[in-house]
């Protein structure tokens, strides 16, 4: 017997992302969400967010918040789900327990499910014995033959779990949109697998595969798009769908995301959470573009895609089966690209939280025009917003540096001192109203030409170093222009003091 997924051609496409709030939003989950989002948008369908929080011990509202905020930040907004509601809610599994109980009841009634009273110890012993005999471990539970009324009497005294009666030797096949036909034999599923466990006496909490099947049906999910680690859950979910007389969604299992060493991407490869990338100063546009290319490519050389473009061009047929390598250099490159595309005012707005985090500005009181001037200067070189403090912090706070930084090539301290006297005098003589980048350049270059061997660095390096406190920074004219006369001269005086 074969069971094939059916395509819902006439129905509206409905996809879902269904995270468990037992950890922060992982980059792989962001990719899964994105592909679900794009597939729904491409066909004018709906994208649903469902929170799978039946594991009460491991789920936490903090993780749910991280996931929800991460998705919002990426711009992957859901049409139905927590916060927005929808016709098939509630969208948190912990709020749907009565629904699951109803379907469990149905299966107990039909005899497709039953109460198993075997202890953990018994199951472990059985498992070890089967392994020792080199058999496929499978719990074919003898309680499947019990009459329901007898089992329910026993239930008053003994704990139980609810299992599905799995028929032996059945082929379960489905057509995966990415991998083609995939078949499992029911003998490899571990026997009568569990659907629900006791929570309190007489009350059962649905387990993962059961809740997923019920929710996907009731939420009218047409396409289940998820990571390939879920392939092994699929035959179980198909069997549950079958006994409940549910139609099957279409499945698409996405390739793994790999680190540079081609092993599954994990913490030892570096940051893996969306929040970490946000904190480092990657733009959501860059992260969306980057994750879209983890396992998908448009079949052309085009690499830059906005979310809107992706929704138009995304094609499940072009998703690869093999693992997708996470290449941080590519992410950096994309991020630099998007940073340079931003309007100065927008770039400044986005830089504000990063400057505030390093205490260069106060969130309650800052000069956005000033930030705009400063940030525009660094825009061509900026790779991540997280670097912004290190690069332009000196515009907000007097720099700390060693006096050696002020020395250009073979200059001695007394040469540097003389250089400062020249530049200070020239700047002091310039009236405030003439203090423009153009004038500053003209006057200082004139003076610089008079330096020994015509080496302009003898005037400009110490000046730039005194103003920025950095080995590398924008040029001295830009810095002088932005800092203004008073602050510039104050910084030269600090440098002179350091040399004494
Ligand atoms: Zn049993």
- Residue 10 pLDDT: 60
For residue 155, count other CB atoms closer than 10 A to its CB: 16
DSSP state of 456: T
Are 42 and 119 contained in the same domain? Answer: yes
Q: CA-to-CA distance for 338 and 340, rounded, in angstroms?
A: 5
Ligand 1: centre distance to CA 190 (Å): 12
In a domain, residue 325? The reply is no
**Ligand 1 centroid distance, CA of 117 (Å):** 6
What per-residue confidence (pLDDT) applies to 139?
Answer: 98
> 485 and 368: one domain?
no
Q: Is residue 61 part of a domain?
A: yes
Q: Identify whether residues 36 and 148 lie together within a single domain.
A: yes
What pLDDT sits at residue 199? Answer: 84
Q: Are 492 and 424 in contact (CB under 8 A)?
A: yes
Instruction: Report the largest interatomic distance among the alpha carbons of the chain, rounded to a whole angstrom.
Output: 105
Between 66-75, 194-203, 324-333, 466-475, the lowest mean confidence (pLDDT) is in 194-203
The 3-class secondary structure across 154-177, one letter per residue, is HHCCCCCEEEECCCCCCEEEEEEC
| CATH code, 158 | 3.40.50.620
For the cut 80, the answer to whether the pLDDT of residue 101 exceeds it is yes
Question: Is there a domain that residue 263 lies in?
Answer: no
How remote is the CA of residue 246 from the centroid of ligand 1, in Å? 26
Both 235 and 130 in one domain: the answer is: yes
Q: Which of these, 359, 446, 442, lies nearest to 397 by C-alpha position?
A: 359
At 224-266, the pLDDT tens digits run 999 999 999 999 999 999 999 999 999 999 999 999 999 999 9
Which of 125, 135, 264, 267 is flagged as catalytic?
267
- Of 355, 374, 395, the residue that ends a domain is 395
| CATH number of 428's domain | 1.10.10.350
| Structure confidence at residue 1 (pLDDT) | 32
Considering the domain architecture, whether residues 356 and 451 belong to the same structural domain is answered as: no
Which of 242, 257, 272 delimits the end of a domain?
257
The tally of CA atoms less than 13 A away on the side-chain side of residue 38 is 27
Lowest mean pLDDT among 3-17, 75-89, 342-356: 3-17
- 5 vs 140, residue with greater confidence: 140
Q: Do 105 and 35 share a structural domain?
A: yes
In a domain, 331, yes or no: no
Domain extent for 189: 14-257
In the chain, how many domains are there?
3
**Does the structure show a pLDDT above 90 at 200?**
no
Residues 90 and 183 grouped into a single domain: yes
- Residue 6 pLDDT greater than 50, yes or no: no
**Same domain, residue pair 441 and 422:** yes
pLDDT tens digits along 298-312: 999 999 999 999 999
Local confidence band at 118 (pLDDT 50, 70, 90 cut-offs): very high
Of 38-42, 53-57, 90-94, 492-496, the range with the lowest mean pLDDT is 53-57
Looking at the fold, whether 237 and 107 belong to one and the same domain comes out as: yes
Q: Measured in angstroms, how far is the CA atom of residue 242 from the centroid of ligand 1?
A: 22
Q: Is 254 buried (19+), middle (13-18) or exposed (0-12) by CB count in 10 A? A: buried
Q: Which of 219, 21, 211 is nearest to 101 (CA)?
A: 211
Active site residue 267: yes
Q: Is residue 32 part of a domain?
A: yes
Q: Quick one: 351 and 412 in the same domain?
A: no
Expressed in angstroms and rounded, the spacing between residue 159 Cα and the centre of ligand 1 is: 12
pLDDT, position 31? 98
Q: Is there a domain that residue 72 lies in?
A: yes
162 in the same domain as 245? yes
The answer to whether residues 172 and 201 belong to one domain is yes
Q: Would the annotation count 267 as a binding residue? A: yes
54 in a structural domain: yes
CATH, residue 380: 1.10.8
Q: Last residue of a domain, which of 227, 257, 287?
A: 257
Is 467 a domain residue?
Answer: yes
């Amino acid at each position: 017997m074969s069971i094939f997924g059916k395509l819902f051609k006439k129905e509206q496409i409905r996809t879902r992302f269904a995270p468990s709030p037992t950890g922060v939003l992982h980059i792989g989950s962001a990719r899964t969400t994105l592909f679900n989002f794009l597939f729904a948008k491409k066909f004018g369908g709906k994208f649903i967010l469902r929170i799978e929080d039946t594991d009460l011990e491991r789920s936490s509202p903090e993780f749910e918040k991280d996931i929800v905020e991460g998705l919002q930040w990426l711009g992957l907004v859901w049409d139905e789900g927590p916060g927005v509601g929808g016709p098939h809610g509630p969208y948190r599994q912990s709020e749907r327990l009565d629904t699951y109980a109803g379907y469990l009841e149905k299966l107990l009634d039909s005899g497709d499910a039953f109460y198993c009273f075997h202890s953990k110890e018994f199951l472990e012993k059985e498992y070890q014995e089967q392994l020792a005999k080199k058999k496929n471990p499978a719990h074919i539970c003898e309680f499947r033959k019990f009459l329901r009324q007898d089992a329910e009497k026993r239930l008053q005294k003994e704990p139980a779990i609810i299992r599905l009666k799995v028929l032996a030797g059945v082929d379960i096949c489905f057509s995966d949109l990415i991998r083609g036909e995939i078949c499992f034999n029911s003998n490899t599923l571990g026997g009568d697998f569990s659907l629900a466990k006791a929570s309190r006496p007489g009350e059962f909490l649905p387990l993962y595969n059961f809740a997923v099947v019920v929710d996907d049906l009731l939420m009218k999910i047409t396409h289940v798009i998820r990571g390939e680690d879920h392939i092994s859950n699929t035959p179980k979910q198909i069997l549950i769908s079958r006994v409940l007389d549910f139609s099957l969604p279409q499945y698409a299992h996405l390739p793994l995301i790999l680190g540079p060493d081609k092993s599954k991407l994990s913490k030892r490869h570096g940051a893996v959470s969306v929040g970490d990338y946000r904190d480092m100063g990657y733009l959501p546009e860059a992260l969306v573009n980057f994750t879209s290319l983890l396992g998908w490519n448009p079949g052309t050389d085009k690499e830059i895609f906005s979310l809107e473009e992706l929704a138009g061009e995304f094609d499940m047929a072009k998703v690869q089966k093999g693992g997708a390598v996470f290449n941080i250099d590519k992410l950096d490159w994309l991020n630099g690209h998007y940073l340079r595309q931003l309007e100065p005012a927008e770039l400044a707005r986005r830089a504000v939280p990063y400057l505030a985090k390093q205490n260069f500005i106060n969130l309650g009181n800052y000069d956005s025009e000033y930030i705009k001037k400063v940030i525009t200067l660094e825009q061509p070189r900026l790779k991540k917003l997280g670097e912004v403090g290190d690069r332009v912090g000196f515009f907000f706070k007097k720099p700390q540096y060693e006096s050696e930084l002020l020395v250009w090539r073979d200059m001695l301290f007394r040469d540097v001192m003389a250089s400062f006297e020249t530049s200070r005098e020239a700047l002091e003589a310039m009236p405030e109203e003439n203090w423009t980048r153009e004038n500053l350049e003209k006057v200082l270059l004139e003076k610089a030409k008079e330096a020994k061997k015509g080496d302009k660095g003898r005037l400009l390096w110490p000046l730039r170093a005194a103003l920025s406190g950095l080995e590398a920074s924008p040029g001295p004219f830009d810095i002088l222009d932005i800092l203004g006369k008073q602050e510039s001269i104050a910084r030269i005086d600090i440098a002179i003091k350091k040399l004494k």
